[in-house]
Structure 1
Amino acid sequence: MTWCGDKPEPAFSEPWHAQVFAMTVALNEAGHFVWADWAERFGATLKTHGLAKELDGGEDYFNAWLETLEGFLAEAGLVEVGALSDLKDGWTRAFLNTPHGHPVHLSAGDNQASTSSTST
């Protein structure tokens, strides 16, 4: 946490940054992967994206973090790649159809992952 005057600045600039970080830590603590493996894989993702610069925890850093986490989840069989893609598409549709300034909610019509992952 950094300080700006009398107030501390938040450790994460966006709520989803904190959420994906916490989810990763929880999955590690639950034994789904070893942290050293995570660090190696995350470093490779950063390198792949050409992020050799010093990162301050912004969007590029957390997009790479999320990409790495999604890869771990898929390889561990904890999520189906197609279901994950459908869910991301649903959130994109929900975001694009939400008026500015309103909270984004995923409705049943936006969430194709719930039907895709259960159909055979």
Structure 2
Amino acid sequence: MSAHKASSPLLASAGLPRAAGGEPVFAQPWQATAFAMTVRLHDQGLFSWNTWAEALSAELHKPGRKADGSDYYDCWVAALSELLKQLSVASGAELETLTQSWQRAAEATPHGKPIVLENDPLRRG
């Protein structure tokens, strides 16, 4: 991780799964991607640390969370999606359309191959 990213206040996010050395731990590639996107948007000034902390906290404290914390990055993505809607970066409909496209792409991708949006059979060039 670069020194710039290592200094991001997002690394201090409550409940962030960490390795013994303090680096974030990701069970799936999409979790690392969601983390990196959030860090990048924060670094670009799209939202403040306080705004992010409030959004993530709201998701982490919703009823129905998994006791083992295995849904942490699901909460992370939900918080980011909500912020994008609140900041008018993307509408709920746009996010839903993109989510469905990624799901179709995942279903159409052979096991062991990277999932790319271009694998969505309904995607138009």
| Structure 1 and Structure 2 fold alike (TM over 0.5) | yes
CA deviations on 1:18-56 (whole Å, 9 max, x unpaired) are: 22112112211222111112112211111114338463x
* Cα shift at 1:17: 1.3
Q: Residue 91 of structure 2 corresponds to which residue in structure 1? A: 80
Computing the radius of gyration from Cα coordinates, the structure with the larger value is 1
Does the C-alpha gap of structure 1 residues 54 and 39 become closer, same or farther in structure 2, counting only changes over 3 Å? farther
Aligned partner (choices 18, 34, 46) of residue 48 of structure 2: 34
TM-score in terms of structure 2 length = 0.68
Instruction: Give the root-mean-square deviation of aligned CA atoms.
Output: 2.6
2:61 is paired with a residue of what secondary structure? helix
CA deviations on 1:48-101 (whole Å, 9 max, x unpaired) are: 14338463xx4x000110000011011111112212111111111111122323
**Distance in 1 (alpha carbons) for counterparts of 2:24 and 2:60:** 23
* Cα shift at 1:11: 2.4
TM-score in terms of structure 1 length = 0.71
AA aligned to 1:2 is A
Give the percent of matched residue pairs that are identical in Structure 1 and Structure 2.
35
Q: Residue 22 of structure 1 corresponds to which residue in structure 2? A: 36
Query: Is the Cα contact below 8 Å between 2:104 and 2:121 reproduced in 1?
Result: no
Gaps of 5+ in 2: 1-18
Q: Residue 26 of structure 2 corresponds to which residue in structure 1? A: 12
**Distance in 1 (alpha carbons) for counterparts of 2:110 and 2:39:** 34
* Structure with more contact order per residue of length (Cα contacts < 8 Å, sep ≥ 6): 1
AA aligned to 2:44 is A
AA aligned to 1:104 is I
2:64 is the counterpart of 1:50: yes
2:9 is the counterpart of 1:2: no
> Aligned residues, how many?
105
